Structure 1
Amino acid sequence: MTIEWQGRIDSLEDSAAFRWHQRVRPVVPHAPSGIALIGFASDEGVRRNGGRTGAAEGPDALRRALCNLPVIGDTPIYDAGDEGCADGDLERSQLRYADRVSALIDDGHLPVGLGGGHEIAFASYLGLVRSERCRGQRIAIVNLDAHLDLRDNPVSNSGTPFLQAIRHADAHGIELRYFCLGVSRSANTQRLFATAQSTGSWYWLDEDLAAIRMAAVLAELKEQLDMVDAIYLTVCMDVLPEAVAPGVSAPAARGVGVDVVELIAKAIAQTGKLRMFDVAELCPRLDPVGATARVAARLIHGVTTAHS
């Protein structure tokens, strides 16, 4: 069940004074192209991965944090509701979510996934590559995350999505590049780094993403992204320092500054190639004051504004 969009009203007539809750409408087939929010209310992947659960509450917490943010421009904003995973059947929930994402992309929208655990990522990837608009295109996944999430498990979870995507792409002849920015040496095993190397994945460590180095990092990333046609951007909230984003299953001991995360995310949004975006691992019960949700909402606001 999604929230009722409501909040402060500065004007009922002046669109320049509108906030998100005044612009959001339910999505309908073939509506004018816009931003389409879609929640993945699941923490089954986190549970399977031995993490702290509660991320299923993330989508509505994100909507509440978005309600009062200012509207910029005239791009339509839609709410496509949630896909849940109450029965523990994560794989089926991911397929249902993917089908809905594909439909949104094919209607010309930028889907913005509201997580939920990072198991949203494999579902978002499937939605992208199964859409008619992205069929046959060269795909990049850019993951801002303290974790590589390349675990090799017999059962999918919040730590397996990008290895699943790589294997799916290999099996279906899809050209896929995987980039992970903000990786923590102290949060990933040597096996995970070896998997990154064997799969040809690119990664930047959290210690490499200082603001003073961003020009070089963005130039290198741009060079790589010039070789793809469509980009899926995913932000795991645990890429940020624990002091900034405490409401996650596995808080970062160091993390990457929000200023750097914003620079990278907005640069990707401005490429004109962004086709899917989501925010993952928001666990509201671990952050009673809602700071993590507010930061996540700011990132969504920045990316959708830059994209539009």
Structure 2
Amino acid sequence: MITKDNYQPTAATTWTGRTDGTEPDLLRWHQVIKTVDLLQASLPALTAHEKGIVFVGFACDEGVRRNKGRTGAAAGPFALRKAIAGFPAHLQPDTVLLDAGDILCANGDLESAQQTLANTVQTILKAGYLPVLLGGGHEITYGHASGIRAYAKGRKERVGFINFDAHFDIRIPGEEGPSSGTGFWQLAQDCKQAGEPFNYLALGIQKNGNTRQLFNIAGEAGATYVSADAFHLQDKDTLLAAIQHFLRQTDRIYLTTCLDVFAAPFAPGVSATAFNGIWPGGLFLQCYRTILQSGKVAGVDVAELNPALDIDNRTAKLGAAIIFETVMAYCGEESID
């Protein structure tokens, strides 16, 4: 349940940027997006011809702290908003962009924050919108994906989880409980308890970033992964075959990108940088777009942006570019290639 303690609406003044004019072909995102205070109002109903996206921030890095990482990702949603505000509005005429504010982690209660996020995601999907979430640490995964699972359950749809990440994030929780590294372990347990398959595809996995135990847990849970080497060596066939095979097994996709999957020069602003991370170039874009174009994506998020560690806003701009890809695939102007 959203309360004044675990939720903060976005001030309309947050959305600012360059203004070239008010004609339709001059508009930018900050000129068309509308803010919604979920404490005061419900999401506006979409007409039969409208497509809608709801941005929600998860201003939380409690999971990063529990995972012994470098905190600061709670400021990620604000930085991502600033980075996407100036994008040109290459949108279909019947597009609705909403910003529904931030879910907060009050008093370090990560579990409650994740449940609130799950409920919010389910509400967004029921209203007909696509949730695009702004992290926040990768503890965003459990709340976001749980909301999608709850929505899909009523429709008897199979849910799959795709994670661009250097790490499996399938750790068994320690003494402090769930963290930024346990999200997919939690989802695996939920699927097992519900008698459902655990459909998990991890792309960009680094051998030097995961213990043998984590590889074993992933294997025992039935997860599929493609290592970062496939990106380094331009092994397009392996990557696209894995993605296409996975898509055929699912009806709804949770798509998450941990920014630490990328090489440190492109993504310095993360808790765990990777000098040998993947490049955010053509092969990554081809993989990402293949998933988006499947028509099965039910929710997207970008995680682990830590503005305090960023250099020249590189990581924020990279996260923003991924969000731009998402919006263009869902409701972009068809005449713009």
Please state which band the TM-score falls in when normalised by the shorter chain.
over 0.9
Q: Percent identity?
A: 40
Q: Is the counterpart of residue 297 in structure 1 residue 315 in structure 2?
A: no
Cα deviation, 1:246-291, whole Å, max 9, x if unaligned, reads 0000001211110133222211110000001000000000015211
Cα distance change of structure 1 residues 262 and 116 upon mapping to structure 2, 3 Å threshold: same
- Say if 1:105 and 1:133, in contact at 8 Å, map to a contact too: no
Displacement after TM superposition at 1:62 (Å): 0.2
Could you say which residue in structure 2 is the equivalent of 1:230?
252
Range 104-113 or range 3-12, more displaced? 3-12
Could you say which residue in structure 2 is the equivalent of 1:5?
15
Letter in 2 for 1:276: G
> How many residues matched?
307
- Say if 2:152 and 2:252, in contact at 8 Å, map to a contact too: no
Displacement after TM superposition at 1:221 (Å): 1.3
Cα deviation, 1:50-97, whole Å, max 9, x if unaligned, reads 000000000000000000011112221110100011310000010011
1:123 to 143, 153, 162: 143
Q: After the TM superposition, which residues 1-308 of structure 1 pair with which residues of structure 2 at under 5 Å, given as runs?
A: 1=8, 2=10, 4-12=14-22, 14-27=23-36, 28-32=42-46, 33-74=51-92, 75-131=95-151, 135-154=155-174, 155-210=177-232, 212-259=234-281, 260-308=283-331
Range 123-132 or range 215-224, more displaced? 215-224
Cα deviation, 1:221-252, whole Å, max 9, x if unaligned, reads 11221121000000000000000000000001
> Following the alignment from structure 1 to structure 2, what is the Cα–Cα distance between the partners of residues 99 and 9?
36
Cα deviation, 1:118-170, whole Å, max 9, x if unaligned, reads 00000001110112676421111000000001101141000000010111111
Letter in 2 for 1:175: P
SS of corresponding position for 1:209: helix
5+ unaligned residues in a row in structure 1: which ranges? none
Displacement after TM superposition at 1:41 (Å): 0.3
Range 180-189 or range 287-296, more displaced? 287-296
TM-score w.r.t. length of structure 1: 0.96
Cα distance change of structure 1 residues 188 and 134 upon mapping to structure 2, 3 Å threshold: farther
SS of corresponding position for 2:234: helix
Letter in 1 for 2:43: P
Cα distance change of structure 1 residues 61 and 116 upon mapping to structure 2, 3 Å threshold: same
TM-score w.r.t. length of structure 2: 0.88
SS of corresponding position for 1:203: strand
Cα distance change of structure 1 residues 132 and 139 upon mapping to structure 2, 3 Å threshold: closer
Cα distance change of structure 1 residues 134 and 116 upon mapping to structure 2, 3 Å threshold: farther
Displacement after TM superposition at 1:37 (Å): 0.4
Letter in 2 for 1:42: C
Cα deviation, 1:22-67, whole Å, max 9, x if unaligned, reads 1111244243241110000000000000000000000000000000
- Say if 2:230 and 2:238, in contact at 8 Å, map to a contact too: no
